Copies of this chain bind each other. A is one copy, B any other.
Amino acid sequence: MTLAQPPVLSDLAQALCGALVLLVPLAGAGLALMNSGLGRSRSAAHAMLAPVCVMAVAVLVYGVCGWSWQSFPGRPAHSFELAGKSWNWIAAEPFFLRGLAYDGSPAALAAWLQMFSVALAAMIPLGAGSERWRLGASCASAALLAGWTYPLFAHWVWGGGWLAQLGLLDAGGSGAVQAVGGLTALSIAWILGPRQGKYDADGMPAAFPGHNAVLVLFACFLTWLGWIGLNGAGSLLLNGGGAASLPRVAIDTTLSAAAGVLSSAALTRIRFGRPDASLCANGWTGGLVASSAACAWIAPAAAAAIGAIAGVLVTFSVEWLDTRWRVDDPAGSISVHAAGGLWGLLALAIFAPVPRENPWLGQLAGVATLVVFVLPMTYGLNWLLNRFYPQRVAADGEPHGLDLYELGAGAYPEFVTRRDDFRPR
């Protein structure tokens, strides 16, 4: 199932692939609305302009050089020798997408899908850096992700690289898209530090409620579609799943999200007496994220189990980051995409009935690589960037909100808002 050679796609699979890739931008639209709605109104326009600019930077940089390092199975790549075996570690495509032939070969479809996926991955850190990350710096950080971090790891998983050779499976990108984005979100939250007023002198967190729950929950519908796009296209194009497997992918993705939102709702109701709307949105998205790796191979009931566990995991992760580890992640991006994504990779080893020699080897190698290699690398790159180009807005600008400070105009100039929304939890 791991591809050493490009798949041969039937016409039906190509048509479905096209239709699925077309949905991927809706995942980005959903994340953007969630990030904006979960932040405060004073930074709401910034929280929507940033994803547009970040995805613009990401697709351009990916077009310039990102695809060159990632590429597709069966195309030119560099390898090294270890333990008597040749390990493929980076692709060698020409820059500017000049190597693509638009002749119906799957490589062009893959480049298109990956361009949209990298735009999504680049948006994930915005949720963690919300209300304090400079627009210019977030664009520069997106360039690093889209130009290097993402394509390198994605080559290892989907480009015929060494993780694929070890047997890692990741149908829709729990690891290659979500965890890469989520671990970058963690790095950004560490580098930026918490928002002003988030923690008092004793380290007690204040709750900054999101300014628009309607947009946050509406976004659940968009992420649903976007993830079916990601998971379906990934399954067909990057994993050799046939067209007949699409209903399975769509049903599994849906059931995982459904179980995620319900387990978040039940858990927050048990613990706080009432379901929490923003954690429900996180549970929903966490279910989607966790479904990505395994959705092409598992039974519907297994998908529901993966999603239910993801909902619990995300809910606790949000709370612990906020109160124990004092990592300020306004939109829950780290919990949803990093925790959810790593869980998705492992869940495949538990639930997928794939007849393989050692189903755990590839998955564990993937998780380990993400944690001990990708996280330090993405942290290091963003730390370096921060040296040369400070990523956080000036301290005196933050209280005004990023809209006024960075864009010179608020998102809602006519609406009367109150600013005393700091409530200790």
Report whether B15 and A19 are in contact in the complex, using a CB–CB cutoff of 8 Å: yes
Tell me if A189 is interfacial: C-beta within 8 Å of chain B.
Answer: no
Q: Given A247-B109, A251-B112, A412-B212, decide whether A258 and B55 contact each other with a Cβ distance below 8 A.
A: yes
Q: How far is the CA of A30 from the CA of B168 in the complex (A)?
A: 39
Q: How far is the CA of A390 from the CA of B29 in the complex (A)?
A: 38
A376-425 residues with Cβ-Cβ distance < 8 A to B are 403, 406-419, 421
Tell me if A240 is interfacial: C-beta within 8 Å of chain B.
Answer: no
Main secondary structure on A side of the interface with B: helix
Tell me if A82 is interfacial: C-beta within 8 Å of chain B.
Answer: no
Q: How far is the CA of A291 from the CA of B102 in the complex (A)?
A: 18
Report whether B217 and A48 are in contact in the complex, using a CB–CB cutoff of 8 Å: yes
Q: Which residue of B lies closest to A269 (CB)?
A: B136
Report whether A63 and B300 are in contact in the complex, using a CB–CB cutoff of 8 Å: yes
Contacting residues, chain B, for A221 (C-beta < 8 A): 25-26, 28-29, 32, 52
Q: How far is the CA of A407 from the CA of B269 in the complex (A)?
A: 9
Q: How far is the CA of A115 from the CA of B303 in the complex (A)?
A: 15
A20-58 residues with Cβ-Cβ distance < 8 A to B are 20-23, 25-26, 28-29, 32-33, 36, 40-41, 44-45, 48-49, 52-53, 55-57
* Candidates B55, B245, B409; contact of A213 at CB < 8 Å: B409
Tell me if A244 is interfacial: C-beta within 8 Å of chain B.
Answer: yes
Interface string of A99-140 (1 = CB under 8 A from B): 010111000110110011000000000000000000100000
Contacting residues, chain B, for A409 (C-beta < 8 A): 209, 213, 276-277
Q: How many Å from the CB of A395 to the closest CB on chain B?
A: 18
Q: How far is the CA of A211 from the CA of B214 in the complex (A)?
A: 12
Stretch from A71-79, A259-267, A335-343, A354-362 contacting the other chain? A259-267
Q: Given A44-B214, A244-B108, decide whether A11 and B14 contact each other with a Cβ distance below 8 A.
A: no
Tell me if A215 is interfacial: C-beta within 8 Å of chain B.
Answer: yes
Contacting residues, chain B, for A41 (C-beta < 8 A): 414-415
Tell me if A326 is interfacial: C-beta within 8 Å of chain B.
Answer: no
Report whether A247 and B60 are in contact in the complex, using a CB–CB cutoff of 8 Å: no
Q: How far is the CA of A415 from the CA of B414 in the complex (A)?
A: 10
Q: How far is the CA of A183 from the CA of B258 in the complex (A)?
A: 25
Report whether A48 and B11 are in contact in the complex, using a CB–CB cutoff of 8 Å: no
Taking Cβ atoms with an 8 Å cutoff, the residues of A that contact B are 10-12, 14-16, 18-23, 25-26, 28-29, 32-33, 36, 40-41, 44-45, 48-49, 52-53, 55-57, 59-60, 63, 96-98, 100, 102-104, 108-109, 111-112, 115-116, 135, 209-218, 220-222, 224-225, 228-229, 242-248, 250-251, 254-255, 257-259, 261-262, 265, 272-277, 280-281, 284, 299-301, 304, 403, 406-419, 421
The 5 A-B residue pairs whose C-beta atoms are closest, nearest first, are: A56-B258, A29-B221, A48-B217, A15-B15, A45-B213
Apart from A45-B213, A60-B258: 11 A-B pairs, beta carbons within 8 A = A11-B15, A22-B228, A32-B218, A49-B277, A60-B255, A102-B247, A213-B403, A213-B411, A274-B406, A276-B408, A414-B417
